[in-house]
A and B are shown apart, each in its own frame.
Chain A
């Protein structure tokens, strides 16, 4: 890489000279702060080979690539940023069109009492049940808002946010293709302890409220769509001595859409999250009820497109490969969900703790549908659902335990046991796989790492998934060798040994090697990738089967 050292002195001189030319007022200035430029980029490219056995289709261009470059300019209270994105052509499995553009550009001014943003921004009100815009590069998800946002902090502890704009369309790389609906939002946050600092209230109390409205012209010749749709939420958070309680309720009025089958019924959401934390122990418990709460900036939008809100799933986010065979995503049209998670560390020096201690994490999630009864008197309302009524069968259940233990300075291991069960219909919908009955699965994972030398480590994963439904059981092994801080190489094989169809008892073998150089990372892989679901953050996308070479380059400066 060619690198030119910049002589700050000479830049200053040229800047100074330029400004003398353009403005006489500035001659009094003695020192010029040129500001600061930084950024990051990523390029993911894949060479595709047709592989009829695993269902990887022919890719006419042979190579697909998704890339972006972020540039950020900061100078005192001023900040400006742009992002260039290129999909040439778009990689398989992304809901996005081929092309390139500058879908992200903004300017921001931040002062102690206020902040103004013009252009593209990300925002979240409360837990996100009425508004959340965010991005996940790996999923091709970006629902940023393009418009104007102001934040004011008039008193200690009070923050008010107002925004107006249109939302980015996930299919498009251009800022011109924004949502048909116009979004207006307002949020207030009040930290009572900060305002009444002198009262010294022991419990930390925060309250907040949000209001979001969407305007979309009704041009439908038959349906009578409401042009203005409103959603609102109120929340409270209490915190005392390691205990935390968060409650938020949300409501949406009058929003017939493609996703909810054009019903006029109001939507609602309730989220309760409690937790307790002290040294060596953490417990979190949460419950959520969602009813007809799909909310988008365009009433005709579907898939992961133009989502205006976010309904957090009450399930553990698994990252081990075979555990990701069994994903879950919130059902915005109706669900009752509960989750308990306990993390505990057995102290070092005890019999079970050994020399370094043992960590345990237990998680239980259970999700039911609502007990919906068709509303025959008013079919446009769709259905009635009792607040506490739940479906007979659970949609989904996940019970898992993870044990981590460090045996010696050189050897540590993590052992996990997972149990899943699914309603048949939900399984098909969430994974894209076929089944004729409800699904149950048992997964076991052993992850061991051995320190060979000071900076060299050998890591091995053994995974097994036992399931009786159609694609059958899987086994997987992974070996990774790393030489810190620069190199790593990994090979792994997933084997679908239990597939009902003997011809499909295939090995999915692949290898990856990577180099870290300064703040850059290059990664090259080759092999078969099974079709499946990739989840990051709250959203999941179905990744098609593929066979070929994968290159990834990441850097920041």
Chain B
């Protein structure tokens, strides 16, 4: 019964809880790696370093622009902050088997998973791609951004650097 009361009450004070929530944990659902094996998202890890999670698709032009722009800087980013980028493809059966050759053909050094049934996407309330998250050392979501315009990666990197330095960054749904 406890959880029902808690649920009802939380719904009642939705407005308060939503905007006052602490950093969210990464939800744990199944995605597939490029060999097609089930992997739990709870096992994502970067040994205490910052993690970028980027939702994309092979048919999504701005997603490719974003991942390509980051790929061109990725070595420097890794060296300076130890960041890891995890790219979550939301491609369906039409393109899912092309994800591995696509990523190799672009020479991207990312950790890539496929969210074919959209479970991870729904668990993180991702509507449109690209949608990018930054996780801190405790794997809590500290920042997120929807859509991509050229140059957005600069802001993303500022956030990553702050996280790497352990600076308490303002959540982007709270800062002014």
Contact = CB atoms under 8 A, between A and B. Distances in A.
Task: Decide whether A and B assemble into one complex.
Answer: yes
Interface in B72-125: 72, 92-95, 97-98, 100-107, 116-119, 122-125
Interface in A6-60: 6-8, 11, 14-15, 18-19, 22-23, 26, 29, 32-40, 42
B104 A282 contact: yes
Interface in A125-151: 127-128, 132, 134-135, 137
Name which of A194, A344, A482, A519 has the most chain B CB atoms within 10 A of its CB. Answer: A519
Contacts of A110: 28
Interface string A442-480: 000000010100111101000000000000000000000
Interface size class for chain A? Answer: 35 or more
A110 B28 CA distance: 9
Interface stretch (A167-175, A309-317, A493-501): A309-317
A518 B58 CA distance: 26
A37 B61 contact: no
A281 B104 contact: yes
A8 B127 contact: no
Interface in B1-22: 1-3, 5-7, 9-11, 13-22
A96 interface: no
B27 A74 contact: yes
A35 B15 contact: no
Contacts of B123: 72, 74, 79
Main DSSP-derived SS at the B contact region: mixed
B144 A15 contact: no
Name which of A37, A74, A135, A204 has the most chain B CB atoms within 10 A of its CB. Answer: A37
A538 B90 CA distance: 12
Nearest to B65: A449
B105 A342 contact: yes
A307 B63 CA distance: 29
A19 B17 CA distance: 18
Contact of A556 (B6, B100, B146): B146
B47 interface: no
A235 to B, nearest CB: 10
Main DSSP-derived SS at the A contact region: strand
A72 B17 contact: no
B21 A343 contact: no
A313 B92 CA distance: 11
Interface residues of B, number: 75
B117 A122 contact: yes
A451 B100 contact: no
Given A18-B9, A485-B152, A127 B15 contact: no
Given A78-B3, A273-B97, A359 B106 contact: yes
A254 interface: no
B155 interface: yes
B173 A557 contact: yes
A277 B20 contact: no
Contacts of A81: 122
A537 B94 CA distance: 8
Nearest to B10: A34
Given A15-B5, A244-B36, A343-B106, A6 B13 contact: yes
Contacts of B125: 38-40, 70, 72, 556-557
A124 B94 CA distance: 13
Contact of B151 (A37, A359, A457): A457
11 contacts: A4-B19, A8-B22, A19-B2, A38-B18, A122-B119, A159-B38, A313-B94, A451-B151, A519-B144, A537-B92, A554-B127
> 5 tightest A-B contacts by CB?
A343-B105, A282-B101, A6-B20, A484-B151, A282-B105
Given A14-B9, A71-B14, 16 more contacts: A5-B16, A34-B17, A36-B24, A42-B127, A81-B122, A239-B35, A275-B97, A275-B100, A277-B103, A281-B101, A282-B102, A284-B98, A343-B106, A404-B68, A516-B146, A556-B146
